[in-house]
Structure 1
Amino acid sequence: MNTHVGNRWLRFVLLGIASIALGAFAWIDAISVTLASTVLFGVIFIIAGAFQLAHAFSCREWSSRLLSALLGCLYILGGMLLIEEPATGSAFITAFIAISMVIGGAVRSMIAFQNRALSGWWMMMLGGLVTIAIGVMLYATLPWSGLWLVGTLIACELIFAGIGWVQFGLALRRGTVVIERNF
């Protein structure tokens, strides 16, 4: 089914402007956004743990029911800890991101090195090395980087998404665009 949205370009532009404004606000107070996000993660963990426990108790004949219930309890405990200590929780989230970046950058660098016969391999190597450096810097500046990283990432995502929506809306204004719905 095709939906003609060319005459609704302004809605996309307004969505983009709202996203950019929210992103700018998040960037201004990245620490509060980080702490609020950590609390939200905690709530999500508690809800997931409750569902895990309910599932474990509803499947009495399942041999892994006890392990599933234990996992549910761990989710709930982790969620409660994130809510109780969001600053510490954000430091753990940042440490996980930093370690993931170091590992991902190292893997990307190894792939680039193994494929150095290809032109442009050094760009992939450079990207991997930059990712490693950022991961190391984030980890080295813990716990302080934990206070601003998540909020800054959310701000960047909102701003870039907003720019995309504005650009999309303006493209709709310039010409007729047909969007397909695939359901």
Structure 2
Amino acid sequence: MTMSLDSAAEVFRAAMRETVKRYSLWYLIQGALLVVAGFLAIIYPILSSVAVIIMLGWLLIISGVAQGISLVGARHVPHFWLQLISVILAFLIGFLFLRDPAQGLLTVTLLLIVFFMIEGISKIVFALTIRPFPYWGWVLASGLIGVLLSLVLWASLPVTALWLVGLLLGIQLISVGGALARLAWQVRRSPAT
């Protein structure tokens, strides 16, 4: 049995709507937590920027240690030396981030540009998928804000201030959290279909 593209798209949208409805409480909780985290990042932008860099540093160190453990006794694995160099780099860069978080600002800024862009595009696609669901426009606006924030960071790259990263991270968190919470609240209030 063949299904038209429009029919398949409607089936997919219906499945997405049902999933959002089924997990609306979790979306509401997630949205509220993201909004709170966003306000904290805006109130303390330098602290949130440094926290992101420190967290990234620890993640690199932990991944380096985990990869290093997996290489123990694997000297005959193809490309062993390349993997060992990767382990050393992860550990070294993580250590440098922890030693002086301000020096890791450019790297973190580039990572946030990628994160905001991908997060924004995924929210735009999600919003267009659940359209004409009530308040789908909030999710679309959240995605557009993510793309806009990535462009603002890109434009300010040579002189990105430590506080700007935290401020834009806070705006993104509030945008995503507010959109999710509004969508979940509306779904919870809507009658069962």
- Taking structure 1 as the reference length, the TM-score comes to 0.63
Equivalent residue number for residue 168 of structure 2: 153
- Give the one of 120, 132, 135 matched to 2:154: 135
2:76 corresponding residue in structure 1: 61
State percent identity of aligned pairs: 25
Q: 1:57·1:65 contact (CA, 8 Å) conserved in 2?
A: no
Decide which of 160, 169, 184 is 1:169's aligned counterpart: 184
Instruction: Answer yes or no: is 1:45 the counterpart of 2:60.
Output: yes
Asked whether 1:91 is paired with 2:114, we answer no
Counterpart CA distance in 2 for 1:71 and 1:7 is: 42
Query: Structure 2 CA distance, aligned partners of 1:98 and 1:11?
Result: 25
Of residues 51-60 and 39-48 in structure 1, the stretch that sits farther from structure 2 once superposed is 51-60
| Equivalent position amino acid for 1:27 in 2 | I
Q: How does 1:96-135 map to 2 (within 5 A)?
A: 96=110, 131=151, 135=154
Q: Which has the greater radius of gyration?
A: 1
Helix, strand or coil at the partner of 1:58: coil
Give the aligned partner of residue 32 of structure 1: 47
1:98·1:135 contact (CA, 8 Å) conserved in 2? no
Superposition RMSD on alpha carbons, in Å? 3.5
> Following the alignment from structure 1 to structure 2, what is the Cα–Cα distance between the partners of residues 86 and 12?
33
Deviations 1:32-75 (A, max 9, x none): 00001100000000011112222222322213212211210111
> For the Cα contact (< 8 Å) 2:113–2:153, is it kept in 1?
no
How many equivalent residue pairs?
144
Equivalent position of 2:88 in the other structure: 73
Conserved in 1, the CA contact under 8 Å of 2:20 and 2:184? no
In 2 relative to 1, CA 37–174 (structure 1 residues): closer, same or farther, beyond 3 Å?
Answer: same
CA contact (8 A) 1:98 1:138 kept: no
Structure 1: 4+ residue segments shifted above 3 A? 3-15, 96-100
